Amino acid sequence: MKDWVFPSLAFLVFLYGVVFVFFYIYDYKNSNVSIFADVKSSQSNERSIDNFLKEISNSFK
């Protein structure tokens, strides 16, 4: 009877770990936070700065 207690408990711990990893990956994939969120904001700032500098150069012409 003792031969099946440790393997069954180890299997339950393993299943708990697999379920935890699955839900962590699922939550990570469905999050609204993008990995490249900072890149998008910096590109939009650079574009607005470029537009601003073009307007200034056009006003001096």
Q: State residue 24's pLDDT score.
A: 84
Residue 14 has pLDDT above 90, yes or no: yes
DSSP state of 60: H
Q: State residue 58's pLDDT score.
A: 84
Q: State residue 59's pLDDT score.
A: 83
pTM across the whole model: 0.44
Burial classification of residue 39, based on how many CB atoms lie within 10 Å of its CB (0-12 exposed, 13-18 middle, 19 or more buried): exposed
Query: What is the SS3 assignment for 12-42?
Result: HHHHHHHHHHHHHHHHHHCCCCCCCHHHHHH
Interval 25-61: pLDDT, tens: 877 666 666 555 555 554 555 667 778 888 888 888 7
DSSP state of 14: H
Q: State residue 15's pLDDT score.
A: 96
Q: Hey, where are the domains in the chain?
A: 5-60
